[in-house]
Structure 1
Amino acid sequence: MSDLSALSYYLGIEVRQGKEELMFGQSMYDSKLLEQSGMTECKPCVTPMEEQLKLMKVSTTAKVDATLYRSIVGGLCYLVHMRPDIAFAMGYASHFMEDPREDHWAMVKRLLLLRQGDDGSMDHLSKDRLRVGYRLTVFSDADMAGDIDRRRSTSGVLIFLRLASISWLSLK
């Protein structure tokens, strides 16, 4: 066993640990994805998906580079950790990994442009606030290749940050 020092970067999440707070962000990972897709100079958008967007696997639009599509969609999956608001759009985009087309790629580009609109700030989690009145609880579960026919894994994470009750505080 070896000590690898304090956590600073994990699964695309930058972590800065101070004496009184933890800071989390993904601006460096966002920049890498935008650069990889060639969209660093594009204007940002504010919604993850067009309203009432209906896409089909069988499309008449031109094919796109499947390797790039899969790489970007896979990379965007790591952004869901800090931005659960893009989870539905990410799940929808992943349906078209087998044969991606121009209309599918347009949806993925919109997700990238949504991320570009972020100002690069980090989320702060104060240790004092956790001691004084907030309680952080994290649950995770996974089954590795639990689907026998398709050999696919299922995983999930639930994170709760809630105000602790007065009785809980008085017991401590």
Structure 2
Amino acid sequence: MRRQGKEELIASVYVDDLIVIGTHAEDIDNFKREMAACFQMSDLGVLSYFLGIEVKQEEALTLGQSAYTSKLLERSGMAECKPCVTPMEERLKLTKASTTVKVDTTLYRSIIGGLRYLVHTRPDIAFAVGYVSRFMEDPR
């Protein structure tokens, strides 16, 4: 059944996972039936977790990465650190010509990669993550 006006149905595919969202449940059900007729698939129900992003569907759709953030903090040895309001000290000047002991380059790059992924749900840390990303070649 076609409705008057704008129809909204979005399908997102990542490897073998398919997410379908839309404004009308009937359109979503029809799409799922069409896909099931063509492909072997199972319906896992309401989305709650996808690619490390937690999804809460209540009155509004909320995305978060608290479990991912906790793992990232543990891996970086900062699990016991206290939260702060500003993600980076104001007017911080870092330089590549540092006299401090070199850090584990592989670990540093891994943590920066994790922070870059975290920016998807935490845009407030984007500047700080971009700033420390400048030192991925030769971290100190």
Aligned to 1:28: 67
Larger Rg over CA atoms: 2
Change (3 A) 1:63 1:10: same
* Equivalent position to 2:91, from 47, 52, 56: 52
Q: How far 1:66 sits from its partner (Å)?
A: 0.9
Aligned to 2:82: 43
Counterparts of 1:4-19 in structure 2, within 5 Å, are 5=44, 6-18=46-58
Q: How far 1:37 sits from its partner (Å)?
A: 1.4
Aligned to 2:136: 97
Tell me the amino acid that sits aligned with residue 100 of structure 1. P
Query: How many residues end up aligned between the 2 structures?
Result: 100
Aligned to 1:80: 119
Could you list the per-position Cα deviations for residues 142-167 of structure 1 after superposition, in whole angstroms to 9, with x for gaps in the alignment? Answer: xxxxxxxxxxxxxxxxxxxxxxxxxx
Aligned to 1:96, what secondary structure does the other structure show?
A: coil
Q: How far 1:4 sits from its partner (Å)?
A: 5.2
Q: Which has the larger share of strand?
A: 1
Aligned to 1:24, what secondary structure does the other structure show?
A: strand
Q: How far 1:8 sits from its partner (Å)?
A: 2.5
Q: Give me the whole-angstrom Cα distance separating, in 1, the residues matched to 2:87 and 2:139.
A: 18
Q: Give me the whole-angstrom Cα distance separating, in 1, the residues matched to 2:75 and 2:123.
A: 22
Q: Give me the whole-angstrom Cα distance separating, in 2, the residues matched to 1:21 and 1:97.
A: 37
Q: How far 1:22 sits from its partner (Å)?
A: 2.7
Could you list the per-position Cα deviations for residues 51-78 of structure 1 after superposition, in whole angstroms to 9, with x for gaps in the alignment? Answer: 1111122322110011111111110111
Could you list the per-position Cα deviations for residues 19-69 of structure 1 after superposition, in whole angstroms to 9, with x for gaps in the alignment? Answer: x54332211111111111122122222211111111122322110011111
Could you list the per-position Cα deviations for residues 88-140 of structure 1 after superposition, in whole angstroms to 9, with x for gaps in the alignment? Answer: 11111111011111xxxxxxxxxxxxxxxxxxxxxxxxxxxxxxxxxxxxxxx
Structure 1 length normalisation: TM-score?
0.52
Structure 2 length normalisation: TM-score?
0.63
Change (3 A) 1:46 1:4: same
Residue identity (%)? 73
Q: Give me the whole-angstrom Cα distance separating, in 1, the residues matched to 2:51 and 2:123.
A: 15
